[in-house]
Chains A and B, each alone.
Chain A
Amino acid sequence: MAGKGGVGKTVVTAAVARAAARSGLSALVIEVEGKSGLGSMFGHGGLDYAEAVLSEATEAEGEVRARTITPDEALLDYLRDHGLHRISKRLVSSGALDVVATAAPGIKDILILGKVKQLELAGAADLLVLDAPAAGHAITFLQSARVLLDTVKVGPINAQAKGVLDMLTDHRRCRVVLVTLPEETPVNELVETGFNLEDKVGVGLGPVVVNGVYDPVDGLDADPTEAAAAAGASLRGGEPEALAAAAEFRRERTALQAEQVGRLAEQLPLAQIRLPFVFTTEIGPAELEGLAERFLTEVRALGEVV
């Protein structure tokens, strides 16, 4: 899952995991940037390097688990697995990892992606959902494997980078889902990121998720006073104005959103999944369930079109 900061990438990540679970698949969510509100969307606390179960499996549903991956911890794992336990602690605690990471850029990213690849090959879950770093950074992040193949020509890092690149470019194993808001700047950046990812990394793009689209409401074009007369109801002082102003705001924003969604479809010819704007400021389990359900409805609709 990739997208600019503030577009709700983490919310969509959580919704995709729940949608997978509702379809009977197990999902493992991977966070790479530390602090994230993903846990609280499931009514759970913060996440850790150790896996946590966010929603249990039932007869009909798969479970959702989540964890973080940091370069330091991934490196310790890697060195342990490769019989280099002796130097591992020192490499991390002395801060030498920073020096090494500077010498060979992309090494921290490859440590994370290498761990993801290992989880995938081990069959950690039916679906791994990676909440990638914010937009511009996502390209560097996913590009790290190619860059490292150029700088480090032999040895274990080279092998690791090759394995990661195989995973990223195999469209049956991995897809990048871009997330955006139906607004001008996020759409522009998404289009640019999409083309860059295809050209520079060679990843396959999945459908684009447009987050925060206003659902239609009946009656928005009606005049409040006339609508009240038609319904046989009476309005208090100030209410006609408030109802009319709120309706106008939604109409205007809906039109602006439609324009941006259309522009996105024109400039980036990918299937779109539209998730509704949630009229609250905090996503909890109930809101998340609504989004997951909508995600599945949208996916089914795509299936019918295709």
Chain B
Amino acid sequence: MVGEGPSLRQLVEQRRILVCCGSGGVGKTTTAAVLALEAARAGRRAVVVTIDPAKRLADALGLEGLTGTPSRIEGDWPGELWALMLDTKSTFDDLVVANASTTEQGERILANPFYRNISGALSGTQEYMAMEKLYELHQRQDFDVVVVDTPPTRNALDFIDAPRRLSRFLDHRLFRMVTAPGRGIAKAVNVAAQTFLRTVAKVVGAEVIDDAIAFFQAFEGMEEGFRARAEAVLELLSHDETAFVLVASPRRDTIAEAEFFAARLAEADIAVRALIVNRMHPSFGDGRPEEARARAVTLDGTDLGGLYRNLAEFQLVASREEEHLAGLAEAVAPAPVVRVPFLATDVHDIEGLDRVGHHLDLADRSG
């Protein structure tokens, strides 16, 4: 099961950043929490940044209120376990304050109505802030390993593209033209841009456009800092200290999304270091589903027929799941493939996380 690459256990014990990625509904949040717990069990100081945990898991992790600062979860592990929930808005605020050349500039931006909409409305902002938080925690050196959950994005690489996209947005040509003092040709372009904006203002209302222009004016001079930071984040993501863990479920469509995801990561020169497949059906016996199905048909109407029908159904699902998985496993090789079965109950406490951790088969439980 383990190829030439490092095992999941080695990743948990050695890497400084673990990024859990994959499509929505596959158990990314829980997986991220499990990996952080396992790192703490291995004696490391671990922090997990979660995006949107189910309420009871949030409670278990001590995240009742939305907190942008790590809170410690006590337990009988040799390391430390910390958790925090991503607060997109306050992360962005901190970034603005850190990059502003004066306190006054920072305040002017934070007070701008257009800015206040950015965190909620601009696509990719949440992804960007998840990466920003990751970078910040990594830089602080308070933790040996940062585990981050990524937003359930449809567009696979939003969270990698987001930093660049946002810095492009903040550097938007149109608003550069409007806000820059115009001279000569620049002035002619400026007039065209003004006309264009007036037309847009007719549709959405002038107030909205005024706020936007005020924002871009206030932002003047900060683009460089943002761009540099975006590059630094991207570099960290492709660094050896970082490992991407792809999380999937074994259905045809989510596997297809995961394959697409792995391909896009490869394009960005980022390797998937481990594949975790949640919600696997167990396989019962070593027979073929067709045989059990044939027996079910022959024995229809008897209890044994029902038992065979049930067996055939689960054998069919399990074999299909393995078939789908084979292609993905090959695509991410030599990354180890870890299968987590369907759990009887949802995970909402440390014991639940441990149950999943047990299936990851990576913790040293002899101690």
Contact = CB atoms under 8 A, between A and B. Distances in A.
A37 to B, nearest CB: 5
Nearest to B315: A246
Interface stretch (B235-243, B251-259, B326-334): B251-259
A268 B123 CA distance: 32
A157 interface: yes
B320 A280 contact: yes
B121 A217 contact: no
Nearest to B24: A5
Interface stretch (B127-135, B179-187, B219-227, B278-286): B278-286
A6 B26 contact: yes
Taking residues whose C-beta sits less than 8 angstroms from the other chain, chain A's interface range is 35 or more
A301 interface: no
Contacts of A217: 306, 309-310
Most chain B CB within a 10 A radius of its CB, from A5, A183, A219, A231: A219
A7 B25 contact: yes
A224 B304 contact: yes
Given A231-B302, A231-B303, A37 B122 contact: no
Contacts of A90: 196
Nearest to B124: A98
A185 B200 contact: no
7 contacts: A34-B154, A96-B174, A99-B174, A102-B118, A103-B117, A104-B208, A233-B304
Given A87-B200, A222-B304, A230-B302, A102 B346 contact: no
Contacts of A152: 204-205, 208
A55 to B, nearest CB: 20
Contacts of B152: 5, 134
Given A107-B204, A231-B302, A246-B315, 20 more contacts: A6-B25, A86-B199, A100-B204, A100-B208, A102-B117, A104-B204, A104-B205, A152-B205, A156-B203, A238-B286, A239-B285, A239-B287, A241-B285, A242-B287, A246-B284, A247-B307, A280-B317, A281-B317, A281-B321, A281-B324
A228 interface: yes
A52 to B, nearest CB: 19
Contacts of B359: none
Contact of A99 (B172, B286, B316): B172
A84 interface: yes
A23 B309 CA distance: 32
Contacts of A91: 196, 200
A84 B308 CA distance: 66
Contacts of A124: none
B137 interface: no
Interface in B133-148: none
A188 to B, nearest CB: 7
B307 A219 contact: yes
A242 B344 CA distance: 19
B203 A155 contact: yes
Interface of B: 23-26, 52, 54-55, 114, 117-118, 120-123, 152, 154-155, 168-169, 172-175, 196, 199-200, 202-205, 208-209, 211-212, 249-254, 256-257, 282, 284-287, 295, 299, 302-311, 313-317, 320-321, 324, 342, 344-346, 348
A110 to B, nearest CB: 10
A156 B295 CA distance: 66
B29 to A, nearest CB: 10
Given A107-B204, A152-B208, A222 B303 contact: yes
Interface stretch (A59-67, A250-258, A290-298): A250-258
Contacts of A241: 285
A282 interface: yes
A154 B122 contact: no
A129 to B, nearest CB: 18
Contacts of B120: 105
A155 B314 contact: no
A219 B303 contact: yes
A117 interface: no
Most chain A CB within a 10 A radius of its CB, from B25, B122, B169: B25
A152 B305 CA distance: 65
Most chain B CB within a 10 A radius of its CB, from A33, A87, A104, A247: A104
B205 A157 contact: yes
A243 B311 contact: yes
A86 B200 CA distance: 11
Contacts of B196: 87, 90-91, 96
Nearest to A224: B307
Contacts of A86: 199
B123 A183 contact: no
B25 A154 contact: no
A86 B52 CA distance: 42
Nearest to A33: B154
A270 interface: no
B299 to A, nearest CB: 6
A230 B304 CA distance: 8
Contacts of B344: 252-253, 256
Contacts of A114: none
Contacts of B316: 279-280
